[in-house]
């Protein structure tokens, strides 16, 4: 570890709460799919800030949009009408056919978006439908955020450690088990909240038959279907929204991550019917939908549409999976499974492989990926990543597996 990193690490430990297991790397600059440390060493970023910088780092058009807006109007609160927020809402709803008569609520993060969706579901049931429904059902191995409500909704016990008592009204069931889900639905159930591909859970897509069954159950029981698209949305999986791969028509979608290409921005999208659950004073945020973040997000959506990044993600994702399967064939017994959709990819290493050592060696050789669930190399690269960059990573992974 070099001196500049040691010094920054010490300053961090003395000033910032110890809530992150930070990687042994201090970053100073980014451009496209490249990141540079304090000493100027270049890394290939295949994580994109955990699916956030979808257009790459310091995209010139985003930089200009932010600069122009910062020189015009940054923040006035949601007590006033602002054009950038409406521009963004219209552009966002245009990506979702079911959103033709829908509405958007802007916030600052994925956790806030899911928190807002939970509140909306409960209030819609009570105030619009006049039914005392408040329970939210989620799936084991899911991840929905770290507020008290969203960590309770999350189907991973490790995020709940030390935070009891947790809010009531949440039930978690076995993922992929439709019978267990049906059994969990009661007259108190307001909504089922799920990811169609579990990201933090190890990049695990659900079968189309299961997801169709979940939707049918929601319609049968009068329960809202809420899809967490925070990591999967906005072209990441090869379509604008991951649920579109499976023919789903959600009542509510939550969005964040790549929406503003790095600026804090989240959103709840709901059908016009469900959006009636909110009215003035029922939900609010100080910073959600500021002119600055909205300008960045609107430009992000414009570029994604113009450059057809959903189609590009589908093509490059298929290319990457082919590369990774070749690596698996060349290294028998090293890779258990490769999976994903578009540029949301998981390489699950075999139990005999030291996954932590593989990840550490990749980082040492200039490749930034994420290790989740102890054995899954998760790749969420910028949507502008190239075939050459993906090939370079695959070759490095193959070399490392041979060495280890």
- Per DSSP, 32 falls in state B
Give the start-to-end residue ranges of the domains of the chain: 3-23+33-58+308-403, 63-306
Average pLDDT over residues 230-241: 98
- Distance CA(248)–CA(225), nearest Å, equals 9
Percent of the chain with pLDDT over 90: 98
Q: Active-site residues: which are they?
A: 143, 228, 257
Please tell me the pTM assigned to this model: 0.97
CA distances from 228 to 55, 95, 118, 144, 180 (A): 21, 16, 11, 7, 20
- Distance CA(71)–CA(363), nearest Å, equals 38
Give the residue among 249, 220, 228, 239 at the shortest CA–CA distance from 344: 239
- Distance CA(329)–CA(242), nearest Å, equals 29
Sign of the four-CA dihedral 23, 29, 35, 37: negative
DSSP assignments along 120-179, one per residue: HHHHIIIIIS-----EEEEETT----SSHHHHHHSS-GGGGTT-PSPPSSEEEE-TT-HH
- Distance CA(240)–CA(88), nearest Å, equals 15
DSSP assignments along 23-58, one per residue: -S--EEEEEBTEEEETT--EEEESSHHHHT-TT-BT
- pLDDT at residue 98, rounded to an integer: 84
- Distance CA(45)–CA(139), nearest Å, equals 30
- pLDDT at residue 1, rounded to an integer: 54
Average pLDDT over residues 316-339: 98
Tokens of 70: 């910062």
Tokens of 130: 């006049």
Average pLDDT over residues 66-93: 98
- Distance CA(276)–CA(286), nearest Å, equals 21
Average pLDDT over residues 158-174: 97
DSSP assignments along 256-268, one per residue: -GGGGBTB--EEE
- pLDDT at residue 160, rounded to an integer: 97
Residue for token digits 């591909």?
197
CA triplet 49, 52, 53: central angle to 5 degrees? 85
Average pLDDT over residues 166-178: 98
What average pLDDT is seen over the chain?
97
- pLDDT at residue 235, rounded to an integer: 98
Pick the CATH number of 63-306 from 1.10.3720.10, 1.10.287.70, 3.40.640.10, 2.60.40.10: 3.40.640.10
Residue for token digits 């490059």?
316
Residue 200 has pLDDT above 60, yes or no: yes
255: helix, coil or strand?
A: strand
Average pLDDT over residues 137-159: 98
Average pLDDT over residues 388-393: 98
Report, at the CATH architecture level, how domain 3-23+33-58+308-403 is classified: Alpha-Beta Complex (3.90)
Average pLDDT over residues 217-237: 98
Checking DSSP bridges between strand 135-139 and strand 103-107, what pairing results, if any?
A: unpaired
Tokens of 330: 């060349």
User: How many other β-carbons are positioned within 10 Å of the β-carbon of residue 101?
Assistant: 10
């Amino acid at each position: 570890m070099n001196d500049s990193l040691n010094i920054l690490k010490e300053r961090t430990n003395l000033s910032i709460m110890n809530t992150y297991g930070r990687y042994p790397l201090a970053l100073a600059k980014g451009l496209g799919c490249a990141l540079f440390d304090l000493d100027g060493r270049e890394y290939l970023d295949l994580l994109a800030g955990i699916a956030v910088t979808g257009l790459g780092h310091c995209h010139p058009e985003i930089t200009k949009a932010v600069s122009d807006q910062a020189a015009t109007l940054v923040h006035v609160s949601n007590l006033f009408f602002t054009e950038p927020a409406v521009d963004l809402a219209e552009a966002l709803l245009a990506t979702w056919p079911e959103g033709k008569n829908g509405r958007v609520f802007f916030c600052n993060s994925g956790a806030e978006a899911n928190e807002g969706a939970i509140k909306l579901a409960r209030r819609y049931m009570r105030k619009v439908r006049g039914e005392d429904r408040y329970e939210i059902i989620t799936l084991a191995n899911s991840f929905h955020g770290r507020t008290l409500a969203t960590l309770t909704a999350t189907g991973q016990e490790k995020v709940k450690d030390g935070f009891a008592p947790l809010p009531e009204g949440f039930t978690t069931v076995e993922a992929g088990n439709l019978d267990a889900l049906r059994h969990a639905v009661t007259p108190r159930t307001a909504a089922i909240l799920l990811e169609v591909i579990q990201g933090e859970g190890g990049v695990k897509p659900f079968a189309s038959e299961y997801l169709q069954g979940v939707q049918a159950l929601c319609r049968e029981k009068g329960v809202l279907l809420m899809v967490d698209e925070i990591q999967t949305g906005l072209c990441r999986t090869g379509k604008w929204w991951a649920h579109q791969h499976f023919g789903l028509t959600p009542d509510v979608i939550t969005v964040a991550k790549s929406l503003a290409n790095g600026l804090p921005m989240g959103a709840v999208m709901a059908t016009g019917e469900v959006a009636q659950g909110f009215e003035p004073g029922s939900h609010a945020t100080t910073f959600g939908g500021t002119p600055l973040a909205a300008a960045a997000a609107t430009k992000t959506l414009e570029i994604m549409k113009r450059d057809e990044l959903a189609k590009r993600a589908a093509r490059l994702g298929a290319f990457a999976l082919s590369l990774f399967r070749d690596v698996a064939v060349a290294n028998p017994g090293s890779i258990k499974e490769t999976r994903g959709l578009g540029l949301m990819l998981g390489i699950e290493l075999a139990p005999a492989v030291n996954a932590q050592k593989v990840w550490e060696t990749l980082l040492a050789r200039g490749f930034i990926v994420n290790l989740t669930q102890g054995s899954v190399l998760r790749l969420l690269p910028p949507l502008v990543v190239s075939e050459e960059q993906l090939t370079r990573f695959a070759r490095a992974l193959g070399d490392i597996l041979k060495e280890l």
